């Protein structure tokens, strides 16, 4: 008995195998076509990114929150689930931190207005999945993504972290990492 494996190990290439082979080949072409089609339909991720650091991004976001946090009738800063509620300045920059396990702050936008939302992480890789619109991005430490957004409907939209963010500590909270963007009239 030869020690080498036979050269025709794949034979017989029977009917079922042939069928699966054709299906996966066809599917590979469909996936390949998604790249140019996604480009034509403008479904690409934002192209604007820049280098930052967790310390710098936290500082900029803290300053942004201090300047734009919503105040109630008595002048007290408004919070929601332990997070600052911030009225993003129209047509300007807004900042969003992803950090185990929250998205800070709660951004309030106005329908039909344009915003530049900068996103970065203070620790590990997180996912940004805006629901129910299904806009998906990756948020990484040391880089900021700038997403230009013009909300066209009002309501409360949820941001779900869809990139499993593991932390080798006593607690884990990836499944609780949900943020909010509120769009008002």
Q: Which residue has the tokens 């080949």?
A: 25
| In the complex, least distance from residue 172 CB atom to Cu ion, rounded to whole angstroms | 11
Residue ranges that bind Cu ion, judged by CB under 5 A: 126, 161, 165, 177
Around Cβ 61, how many Cβ atoms within 10 Å?
A: 22
| In the complex, least distance from residue 141 CB atom to Cu ion, rounded to whole angstroms | 12
Which H or E run contains 137?
strand 135-139
Decide whether 141 or 151 has the Cβ nearer to Cu ion: 141
Decide whether 68 or 100 has the Cβ nearer to Cu ion: 100
Decide whether 151 or 177 has the Cβ nearer to Cu ion: 177
Which H or E run contains 127?
strand 126-131
| In the complex, least distance from residue 133 CB atom to Cu ion, rounded to whole angstroms | 19
The residues, ordered by sequence, that sit 6+ positions from 113 with a Cβ below 8 Å of its Cβ are 90, 91, 150, 151
């Amino acid at each position: 008995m030869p020690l080498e494996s036979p050269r025709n190990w794949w034979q017989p290439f029977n009917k079922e195998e042939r069928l699966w082979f054709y299906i996966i080949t066809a599917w590979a072409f469909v996936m390949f076509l998604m790249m140019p089609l996604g480009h034509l339909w403008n479904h690409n991720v934002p192209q604007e990114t820049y280098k930052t650091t967790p310390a710098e991004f936290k500082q900029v976001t803290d300053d942004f929150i201090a300047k734009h946090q919503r105040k109630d009738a008595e002048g007290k800063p408004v919070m929601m689930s332990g997070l600052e509620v911030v009225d993003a300045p129209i047509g300007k920059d807004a900042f969003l931190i992803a950090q185990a396990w929250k998205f800070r702050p709660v951004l309030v936008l106005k329908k039909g207005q344009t915003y530049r939302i900068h996103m970065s992480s203070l620790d590990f890789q997180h996912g940004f999945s805006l629901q129910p619109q299904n806009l998906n991005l990756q948020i990484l430490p040391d880089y900021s993504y700038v997403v230009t957004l013009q909300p066209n409907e009002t309501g409360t939209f949820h941001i779900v972290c869809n990139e499993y963010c593991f932390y080798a500590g006593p607690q884990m909270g990836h499944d609780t990492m949900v943020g909010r963007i509120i769009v008002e009239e």
